[in-house]
């Protein structure tokens, strides 16, 4: 552990040297964040799925660190992505409103330019930056990746079901053809979605090749396994899990391609790669939705299955191989970690909710975070402190969740009961009071930003 800590410090402190290796190390690390869409806690081989085969992600975990308690900033796409890229609870930036909603094609809104993204902060430190995949933080020009610190963008700017040919809710006429964009231009309408994962992967590999002299920040928010599901010919029909498995197995291949490219260019030891998901599985899609494993419920909820996701960090030489950590962590922590590794100053004119995970990378037993906030829209629905989780509000039953009458607030011990099955507030009244006080202190100091989503009423 000591040796890896020194290596990490070298990255942060190293001075110029005539030695080639030391010169390489004096550069801040490249950072790659790969984000699956609606992938559940139980959907990868390394997290226990019995029939989805994910050898590349399993290998990434075997060579790196697997987080068992890693959370998103929200349980749906738009606010979750804003949390990851800005290090801030979506309620602060106005990327959540009073319902649980995402940006739809008619929306004029998006991530305000006053927010600072990882890309903006790293670009100032000399990083090349690219976003390749699903953006979902606003698709008018001022909200696109190219206006938010990314040198380049390639992808479908919102969800792949927001298309006249795909959307099942009878509002197809409201949607324009699904765009595939390069930078701020639409280059195709209604692209063949079977080819999307492959095309994102080719773009990501090319970006790494072109910027191998680095440093670079590459953000790959995949379109899948959000529905509708599509896999390319090479994967369709292969997985014992069916089409959902085909799609996840192609994402796994994509991760393998990115890691292979980093190895081929001798960048493995100078690049931090993090793989995670934007929210839990979409259980109401039945066979086309994923699995939260033993966690309760899924996407759209503040049960663990909605916001606890798989997360693997890989950085050979710094992160020891085969580590598993119970440290609490969130996607917002990736903002603070990335800025710290790049030597960028954290913004001091706003509240940042992220915490630097560097000490966890070199010591899996380190604890940097004690609390998790579970917002749904602009309201705090649940709060975790240590192993304890309190719900102020819970959702009605979704698929796989029996409709249990719950007296609120409800208390669960997540180490004893990760599935949130046994409510224990009567046994631990002091714990409940402690959590209520801590949660209320947080809410009392929080200033919600005005909603930036600007969603037409018809989407209600």
Query: Exposure of 386 by Cβ count < 10 A (0-12 exposed, 13-18 middle, 19+ buried)?
Result: middle
Could you tell me the smallest distance in angstroms from the CB atom of residue 182 to Mg ion?
Answer: 23
**Residue 273 contacts by C-beta under 8 Å, 6 or more apart in sequence?**
32, 33, 34, 60, 64, 258, 259, 262, 313, 314, 315
User: Does 250 engage in binding with Mg ion (CB under 5 A)?
Assistant: no
Could you tell me the smallest distance in angstroms from the CB atom of residue 80 to Mg ion?
Answer: 6
Contact segment (CB under 5 A) with Mg ion among 100-108, 173-181, 279-287, 413-421 equals 279-287
Contact segment (CB under 5 A) with Mg ion among 17-25, 29-37, 98-106, 420-428 equals 29-37
* In 39-130, alpha helices (H): 55-63, 77-86, 90-93, 118-124
**CA–CA distance, 166 with 226 (Å, rounded to integer):** 12
Could you tell me the smallest distance in angstroms from the CB atom of residue 197 to Mg ion?
Answer: 15
Token code pair at residue 363:
């010591």
136 is known as an active-site residue: yes
- How many residues does the structure list for the chain? 460
**Which is closer to Mg ion, CB of 109 or CB of 225?**
225
Could you tell me the smallest distance in angstroms from the CB atom of residue 72 to Mg ion?
Answer: 9
- E strand spans, 297-342: 308-314, 323-325, 329-330
222 is known as an active-site residue: no
* In 308-385, alpha helices (H): 331-342, 358-362
User: Does 178 engage in binding with Mg ion (CB under 5 A)?
Assistant: no
**CA–CA distance, 416 with 413 (Å, rounded to integer):** 6
Could you tell me the smallest distance in angstroms from the CB atom of residue 74 to Mg ion?
Answer: 9
Number of residues that bind Mg ion (CB under 5 A): 5
Active-site residue, selected from the candidate residues 77, 143, 222, 226: 77
**Which is closer to Mg ion, CB of 282 or CB of 412?**
282
Active-site residue, selected from the candidate residues 56, 136, 226, 373: 136
Could you tell me the smallest distance in angstroms from the CB atom of residue 206 to Mg ion?
Answer: 26
**Which is closer to Mg ion, CB of 291 or CB of 358?**
291
Contact segment (CB under 5 A) with Mg ion among 118-126, 163-171, 270-278, 407-415 equals 270-278
**Residue 333 contacts by C-beta under 8 Å, 6 or more apart in sequence?**
87, 354, 355, 356, 357, 368, 369
**Which is closer to Mg ion, CB of 77 or CB of 218?**
77
Determine how β-strand 271-277 pairs with β-strand 308-314.
antiparallel
Could you tell me the smallest distance in angstroms from the CB atom of residue 143 to Mg ion?
Answer: 18
Eight-state DSSP code of residue 183: T
User: Does 38 engage in binding with Mg ion (CB under 5 A)?
Assistant: yes
Among 32, 37, 93, 239, binds Mg ion (CB under 5 A): 37
- The verdict on whether omega for the bond into residue 56 sits within 30 degrees of 0, i.e. cis, is no
Q: What are phi and psi of 275, to 5 degrees?
A: -115, 130
What's the number of CA atoms in the CB half-sphere (13 Å) around residue 195?
8
Determine how β-strand 329-330 pairs with β-strand 323-325.
unpaired
Contact segment (CB under 5 A) with Mg ion among 33-41, 91-99, 146-154, 392-400 equals 33-41
**CA–CA distance, 291 with 138 (Å, rounded to integer):** 28
Among 151, 278, 285, 323, binds Mg ion (CB under 5 A): 278
**CA–CA distance, 345 with 352 (Å, rounded to integer):** 12
Among 44, 77, 218, 243, binds Mg ion (CB under 5 A): 77
**Which is closer to Mg ion, CB of 94 or CB of 221?**
221
Inter-residue contact 46 to 57 (CB < 8 Å): yes
The closest residue (CB) to Mg ion is 77
Contact segment (CB under 5 A) with Mg ion among 163-171, 213-221, 278-286, 305-313 equals 278-286
User: Does 97 engage in binding with Mg ion (CB under 5 A)?
Assistant: no
User: Does 162 engage in binding with Mg ion (CB under 5 A)?
Assistant: no
Token code pair at residue 303:
């049960």
User: Does 292 engage in binding with Mg ion (CB under 5 A)?
Assistant: no
Please report, as ranges, the residues that interact with Mg ion according to CB under 5 A: 37-38, 77, 278-279
Give catalytic residue positions. Answer: 77, 136
């Amino acid at each position: 552990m000591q040796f890896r800590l020194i290596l990490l410090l070298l990255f942060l402190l190293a001075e110029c040297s005539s030695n080639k290796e030391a010169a390489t190390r004096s550069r801040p690390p490249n950072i790659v964040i790969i984000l699956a869409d609606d992938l559940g806690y139980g959907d990868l081989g390394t997290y226990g799925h019995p029939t989805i085969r994910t050898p590349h992600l399993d290998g990434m975990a075997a060579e790196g660190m697997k987080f068992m308690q890693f959370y998103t900033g929200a349980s749906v796409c738009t606010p979750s992505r804003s949390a990851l890229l800005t290090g801030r609870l979506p309620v602060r930036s106005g990327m959540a409103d009073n319902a649980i909603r995402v940006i739809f094609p008619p929306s004029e809104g998006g991530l305000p330019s006053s927010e600072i993204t990882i890309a903006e902060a790293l670009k100032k430190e000399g990083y090349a930056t690219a976003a390749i995949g699903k953006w979902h933080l606003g698709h008018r020009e001022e909200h696109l990746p190219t206006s938010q610190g990314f040198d380049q963008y390639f992808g479908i700017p919102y969800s792949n079901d927001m298309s006249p040919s795909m959307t099942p809710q009878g509002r197809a006429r409201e949607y324009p053809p699904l765009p595939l964009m390069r930078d701020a231009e639409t280059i195709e309408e209604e692209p063949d979605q079977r080819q999307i994962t492959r095309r994102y992967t080719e773009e990501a590999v090319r970006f790494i090749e072109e910027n191998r002299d680095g440093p670079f920040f590459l953000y790959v928010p995949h379109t899948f396994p959000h529905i509708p599901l599509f896999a390319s010919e090479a994967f369709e029909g292969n997985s014992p899990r069916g089409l959902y498995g085909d799609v996840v197995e192609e994402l796994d291949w994509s991760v393998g391609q990115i890691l292979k490219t980093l190895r081929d260019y001798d960048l493995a030891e100078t690049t931090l790669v993090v793989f995670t998901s934007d929210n839990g599985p979409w259980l109401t899609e039945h066979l086309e939705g994923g699995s939260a494993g033993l966690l309760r419920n899924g996407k759209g909820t503040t049960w663990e299955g909605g916001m606890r996701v798989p997360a693997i960090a890989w950085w050979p030489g710094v992160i020891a191989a085969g580590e598993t950590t119970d440290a609490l962590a969130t996607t917002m922590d990736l903002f603070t970690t990335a800025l710290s590794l790049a030597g960028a100053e954290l913004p001091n004119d706003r509240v940042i909710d992220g915490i630097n995970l560097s000490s966890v990378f070199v010591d899996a037993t380190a604890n940097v975070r004690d609390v998790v906030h579970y917002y749904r829209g602009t309201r705090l629905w649940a709060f975790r402190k240590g192993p304890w989780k309190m719900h102020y509000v819970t959702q009605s039953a979704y698929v796989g969740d029996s409709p249990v009458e719950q007296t609120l607030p409800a208390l669960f011990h997540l180490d004893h009961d990760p599935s949130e099955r046994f409510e224990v507030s009567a046994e631990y009244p002091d714990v409940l009071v402690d959590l209520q006080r801590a949660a209320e202190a947080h809410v009392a100091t929080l200033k919600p930003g005005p909603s930036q989503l600007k969603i037409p009423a018809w989407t209600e």
